[in-house]
Amino acid sequence: MARLKPRLMRTKMRTPAGTDMRTTLELPDPLFARLKARAAHEQVTLKQLLRSYVEQGLSTTPPAAATQRTAESLPQLHSSLSSPSHNLSNASLFELLDA
């Protein structure tokens, strides 16, 4: 199977000061084809489409980082069992539920 070579895409972007900035994107051919099709469907240029995607991505707040759960942060069960350190089997748990 032939390895797909990413397509290089050069774009010119305007900075707030009005100067142009060029950048190069390496995109796999299938992704580039999807971008071209989307731009054609929306009747905009690739430059306009990519700029809107970048602006949308930068205007959203990033999702909060997943917090690591520790044993202290997990819910704790407080019961009236005689021995909290007693290891219960499934069978003994079912007996307690049936009681």
Q: What is the mean pLDDT of residues 30-59?
A: 93
Contact 7, 27 (CB under 8 A): yes
Model confidence over 12-44: pLDDT tens digits? 555 666 677 788 889 999 999 999 999 999 999
Contact 32, 9 (CB under 8 A): yes
Contact 95, 81 (CB under 8 A): no
